[in-house]
Amino acid sequence: MSLEQKIISYLSTYGNTKETDLITYGVQRLGISKEGMLKLIDEMACTGKIERIVHKELEPAITYIKRGSLFPLELELQALSDSLELNEASNHQIEKLREILHQAEAVAKKRMKREIDAID
């Protein structure tokens, strides 16, 4: 079973989980470094396999992870592309695409910051 499958299985068993708890699981049970887990979570979030939910009502805000779509992101994007070609894109589809792009931008900014910090 791949690491991604183990994380999906964990989320299927335990439901939405604090990001810090998922990282601890990866470090303690899967033998991955904290940085490795962060990278894996970022990659899985970018591909839609998991989603981040920020609980802004708490101080400080806490990030939770939930299982993403059961369908690969590529299929969802292809379906969206097909519906756009047919001029049938719903507001929900457009909003979902904006959310995906926003998440990808946030992950890219975090990676750039980590790389810059590592250089300093």
Question: If you classify domain 1-69 with CATH, what class do you get?
Answer: mainly alpha
Q: Considering just the CA atoms, what is the radius of gyration of the chain in Å?
A: 16
Residue spans per domain, the chain: 1-69, 71-120
60 burial level (CB within 10 Å; 0-12, 13-18, 19+):
exposed
| Per-residue pLDDT of the chain in tens (120 residues, 90 and over written 9) | 899 999 999 998 999 999 999 999 999 999 999 999 999 999 998 888 898 988 888 788 889 999 886 666 666 667 767 766 655 556 777 777 778 877 887 887 777 777 677 776
